[in-house]
Amino acid sequence: MNEANSWLFYEPGKQLVQQKLNLPKPGVGEVLVKNTACTICKSDLHTFTGARSGPVPSILGHEIVGNIVETGGQVFDYFGELLRPGDLVTWSLVASCGKCRNCKNGIPQKCLSLKKYGHEKTEGHFQLTGGFASHTHLYPGTAIYKLPDNLPVSLLASLNCSWATVAAALRLAGDVKGKNVLVTGAGMLGIITLMMCKEYGAKQILVIEKNTDRLKLAGEFGADLFLPSGSESNEVKKEIIEFLDGEPVDLIFEMTGSNQAVKLGLDVAGVGSVIIMAGSVFPTEDVQINPERIVRNLLQIKGVHNYIPGDLASAIHFMHRIYSRYPLEKLFDFHVFRLEKINEGVSHALTSSKHRVVIKI
């Protein structure tokens, strides 16, 4: 087969359009992958609905796992293993040059010549750069990871977005052992944050979530206290203080992007608290912050957007270690869609209460 099946995004709210694209011959450092599965991320839905802008035409989908078809010369994975046809792999969300100012300063996810899977215009040599297609063409400068073959591919597909992003969040937060943690949101990011904090020895883990079902589910993933969002900050703060017996919240992970959650996190922060913000990846209104309170309370506020390659490596090791200890299947919708039914899958994902809808390819 010399062609790839792809479904292109042309206009917000409109169905994806099927199109055949020629399979490329990988150049030096490039890799061609036959996709096995792709999970639909919330950011895919934000682009699809027009909540965030994206280039057109493009192939959406970035949470991908697949098998190598061909490499352009010798290509090694992140761990130093030579990659061969047939290897099961995932890869970093972005490809970076490794030479620009941002790459040299340790933030390759902000490379000045960045390429981002599932977010690029379909044109030129690199057309197959999203997961809603039978193949993905990997750029040079992409960190690639050979994967264990004893885990479900749907679970592996979600590694290179949500799992790696949370690994980045915990890296920036520092040691969580013995700390009191508040997580706002029990979506995919929030649930993974609960697990990682639990496994890394957090003292007490609190979660705030508006969805009742997700709030209940949080208890199975490590939460000790569940608080419905929508309550007044003073009420929530009082309940947190009582639960923690007067101790402060040491770490706050804001994983929703909701300004209400952002304000709440700032309000309940105690002296020396570290606030990690990862959910605000779409346009929002400004939030008012009191500078004196930040200074006097020694607050640290850190933003997380995407991750460095080591974070995805950490996420892979973490998943492999804990996957049998948590009911991870509950995060996925039981409706699994074939690539040919991608429009049905996207429509279903827009209304599904589950964290991820799976596309099998």
Reply yes or no on whether the pLDDT at 282 is more than 90: no
Decide: 91 and 138 in contact? Cβ < 8 Å: yes
Helix, strand, or coil here: 254? strand
Q: Which residues pair with 138 in a beta bridge?
A: 31
DSSP state of 202: -
Across 207-225, average pLDDT: 95
Reply yes or no on whether the pLDDT at 249 is more than 90: yes
Please state, as a whole number, how many other Cβ atoms lie within 10 Å of the Cβ of residue 344: 14
Mean pLDDT across the chain: 96
pTM assigned to the model: 0.96
| pLDDT number for residue 291 | 95
Region for residue 9 given its phi and psi (left: phi exceeds 0; alpha: psi -120 to 50; beta: otherwise)? beta
Query: What tokens appear for 95 in the block?
Result: 């490809």
